Structure 1
Amino acid sequence: MDTIANAITIERAKTSKIDQVDFNNLAFGKVLTDHMLVCDYKNGAWETPKVVPYQPITLDPSAKIFHYGQSVFEGMKAYKDSEENVWLFRPLDNHKRINISSKRLAIPEIPEDYFMEGLKALLKVDEQWIPTSEGSSLYIRPFIFATGTGFHASPADEYKMIIACAPSGSYFAGKVKVLIEETYSRSANGGVGFAKAGGNYAGQFYPTQLAVEKGYNQVIWTDDNTHEYIEEAGAMNIFIRINDTLITSPTSDRILDGITRKSIIEIAKDENIPVEVRKITVSEVVEASKNGSLKEMFGAGTAAVISPISGFGYRNEEYDLPELENSYAALLKKRITDIQYNKVEDKFGWRYKL
């Protein structure tokens, strides 16, 4: 690893934008830092990563990303604790997952040391951009896409990985109202639903727009075959609490293996909360709502960590969830964020010090 770490070149920006940023009013993913990491794949191998000033990229119009959609990404965060130490949360899982996504889209896998040492070099250069206010963090977006050219429908021969960062404030989305989807599907068996492929999200936008027009914030995705089983919440994994049991769908070809999802399952077990990883039907959730046993539903992902759901719509009926004093959502979010910000002992070994 030292070999790559020592080989990474750093070209610093001539001037910094940091003085123009209001760190007390940061929208999510809108303000970008001064630098980015770039790493190119050419002649059958990944070249040495380099840190350069944040800048536009130039691509040939026949670059295959535009025509065949070879593109994958990750979402992660860097945090500062009260002592100004910088921490990442389960970054090796992000590296592993971007390679799982890449493999599915015939993109060459990025070596761990290229990813991790490149990320560390970038964060050291832009460390001042990591916010220190409560709930804030530096959102990190690694992505890989096809730069090789030609209209032939085949994998590209050249690719580019970029890691760009955006300081972001506390992600308070409020409680969301969701519509259970029965027409459109997010993914299918044998497809790419488990990968963080750009096209997965593009395909979600239209059904989500239709739900927004009906007064909902987001869509609950169901299985592609029968639309009987609950799978994901928008771009997040979903958890459902019936009585005292927390239920989430098993990962599959269709469902993303979320890092926040995995963390919630482990923390819930540590809190002696009964957890079931199993298929759950829409009818079970509707019945639980009707008989009062449905206590909570929430989405889980990197950006919001946990996003509580206040109610859902299904077949022209509205179902509200109760307001709870001591919700699982609040407990689990605090447990995760306390680990992320180095406020408590990390018994799981998830924190990664820069």
Structure 2
Amino acid sequence: MLSQNFIDEVKAAVDIVKLAQRHTELKKVGDGIWQGQCPHPHHNDGTPSFTVWEKSQSWACMGCHSGKKNSKHKNYGSDCFAFLQWMEGIGWKQAILKLAKEVGIEPEQDQHAEVYDHKRRLAISYHRNMPPQVYQYLQSRGLDRHDLDDWSIGFDGLRITFPLFDRYRKVLGFSKRKFIETDESAPKYKNSSNSNVFNKSCYLYGTHLVTDDCDEIRITEGAMDVIVPKKYGVQNIVATLGTSFTEHHVALIKNMNKIPVFCMDGDPAGLKSIKKSVDMLAEAGVYSKVLLLPDGKDMTDIANEYKELTEDYIQDHAITYAQLMIQEVITQYDSKVNEIKLRLFPTVKQVLQSIKNGDERKVMQDYVYEKMGLKL
């Protein structure tokens, strides 16, 4: 894990202008502003669309929109690390370490190495000591031995254990599901306490498998809701593990530059939670989509039902949050209108029946149908 101090030190030592000039010819066009043709091989740039701002040490291509803030196009960001990722197709950590080597800054020693090693050994021990009845239960939930190995799922004597990996697959802690009943008041799931290496308020389970192949980040609730859909090919699915959505989660998702898709319950509590999360993201300039799950089902159930078509299910059923809110308003409107129709139906029926002229009654029946949707 790279500390923020190390990252900041490397960034401060890199000149974005000189870095960009390795790949394209730049001309100074203003106070600390440089322009040139886009250096990316996938952009056939016939005009100087690429701009570098020396003062902010940032860049953007106005043609292909990479590096541009609030762009709907996939990009890595606008700093020196993002530029190297964009140009060379390498990971974020790779870019930092490569630039650190170029500017002569040695990577710091990981002060938490012993903690990581201890938790890794725990995960191995839990994984090796899984009783047959636990394995049978996990099989009933759609997992096989390969899945258990991939996610290092284990058992600690009372609970099923799910190691919490960081983006480099280091074990930060565990999420544990109660399997043997000892205390009915104990919560079904229990996550590791906050520590020097783990913070529940800024953790998303499954981030070590997030890639740039998908422009969305699907957010669900539990570890199984990540593991089973991922087994059937769902991309970029992560879980909050039952914790409240925080500003740290917002920053994490914003940094990914992906569209959040909340795949959660549509009951009142679920909608309230989704609304809060969506509002927090919107304030940060990130706009979300929502997939409301059918009553009584979670993403594990959906994946076990649709299997390899789960990705299609998400894409077909996810809607923008604005559309969800409009649908809620329309539902309320329809409910009120139907209530009014039901209340007025006897009066309308009585009036129509009182009309003696058959032609006039027919005209009024058509009029009532046109205005109120009542057919009498």
TM-score of the superposition, structure 2-length normalised?
Answer: 0.27
Larger radius of gyration: 2
Higher helix share: 2
- Which structure would you say has the larger RCO, counting Cα contacts within 8 Å and 6 or more residues apart? 1
Structure with the bigger percentage of strand = 1
